[in-house]
Amino acid sequence: MAKKKCPDCPECMPAWLAAFGDLMSLLLCFFVLLLSMSSMDAKKVSEAIGSLSGAMSVLEGGTKTEISKLRIQESTPIEAQNESSQRVNRINQAVIDANEMMEKGHGPTISVEEAEEGFVINLPSALLFKEGSAKIDNEDALLFLKRIALIIEELPNEMDIMVKGHTDNTAPGKNSPYKDNWELSSARAISVLKELVDDGVKPNRISAAGYAEFSPVATNATAEGREKNRRVEISFYGKKSSKESGMKKNILDKAAASK
C-alpha cells in the first residue's frame, strides 16, 4: 500500500520577527507601567502640545503657547545663592580650624548661628581678651579674624557686618581702664572692628556697638552662664532696600509733623 504524502506546512513568520514582536510588546508594557506610576502635569502637557502644533503644524487641536517666564526662573539655579552658601561653608570651616588651634577643644569655642537676616559668628571674650581688657592678645584669634576678613571681602556688597560687644552683669574691675560695662563692651567691639578693617574690610560696610550686660544669652546666676554672656558677635546681614528706608522716613516725618 502506498504511503500518503505529507501535506506541505503552511508558511509562517520568520523566527526573528516573532522575537522582535515579543520585544515590542514588552517595551509597550514597560512604558505603560511607567506612565501609570507617574504624575502628569496638565499644564506642561498642554504647553508641549501647543508648542508642537504651532511650530511644526503636525498635530490637530491645541493652541500655541510659550513656556512661562516663571517656570524658567524656577528652573534656573541662582548662582549668587550658591556662591553665598559656599562662603558660609568656608566660614564654618574657618571656625572649625580655629577651635582646633585654640584651647585644643577645651574651654569656650567659636560658633556660627543663623540669624533672621543672615548669620552670626559668636566669639567668646575669653578667647580674645584678658579680664577687664579690650586688647586682643591671642595670636590664634588674630589669625582667625584675618581669615574672616578675606572671606568678607568676597561677600556681595549688599551684605554688611556689625560687630556687637556683650558682657555679663559684673563690673569691669578696679584695674580695668573702663568704668562700666557699656565702655568695656563698646571698646571690645571696636577692637574687633579695627582688626577686621586693618585686614582689608572696607570701613563703609562694617559698624560696631556695645550692649553691656543687657542682651544675655544665658543666666548670670552661674559662672558658666556669665562666661557665655561675655562675647563678641560678628553679624552678617543684608542691606535694607530703599523702599523700606523710605517707609521709615515717612513714619518719622509723620511723627514730627504730629508734634
Q: Determine the pLDDT at residue 51.
A: 63
pLDDT band at 75 (very low <50, low <70, confident <90, very high): very low
Q: What is the pLDDT of residues 213-257, one digit of tens each?
A: 999 999 999 999 999 999 999 999 887 654 555 555 565 565 556
Rounded to 5 degrees, φ, ψ at 102 are -90, 130
All CATH 3.30.1330.60 domain ranges in the chain, comma separated: 84-244
Least confident of 123-127, 161-165, 217-221, 247-251: 247-251
Q: Determine the pLDDT at residue 64.
A: 46
Dihedral (CA of 134, 138, 143, 148) sign: negative
Asked if pLDDT for residue 104 goes beyond 60, the answer is no
Q: Could you give the CA distance from residue 1 to residue 3 in angstroms, rounded to a whole number? A: 6
Average confidence (pLDDT) over 119-132: 92
CATH topology (fold) of 84-244:
60s Ribosomal Protein L30; Chain: A; (3.30.1330)
* Residue owning grid cell 548669620: 119
**What are the grid coordinates assigned to 254, written together?**
509723620
What are the residues whose beta carbons fall under 8 Å from the beta carbon of 210, sequence distance 6 or more? 164, 165, 182, 183, 184, 185, 186, 187, 188, 189
Average confidence (pLDDT) over 70-89: 56
Q: Determine the pLDDT at residue 38.
A: 67
Q: What is the pLDDT of residues 199-208, one digit of tens each?
A: 999 999 999 9
Asked if pLDDT for residue 78 goes beyond 50, the answer is no
Average pLDDT, the chain: 79
Q: Which residue has the higher pLDDT, 57 or 208?
A: 208
Average confidence (pLDDT) over 129-144: 92
pLDDT band at 80 (very low <50, low <70, confident <90, very high): very low
Q: Could you give the CA distance from residue 73 to residue 193 in angstroms, rounded to a whole number? A: 39
pLDDT band at 62 (very low <50, low <70, confident <90, very high): very low
Q: What is the pTM of this model?
A: 0.61
Q: Determine the pLDDT at residue 173.
A: 86
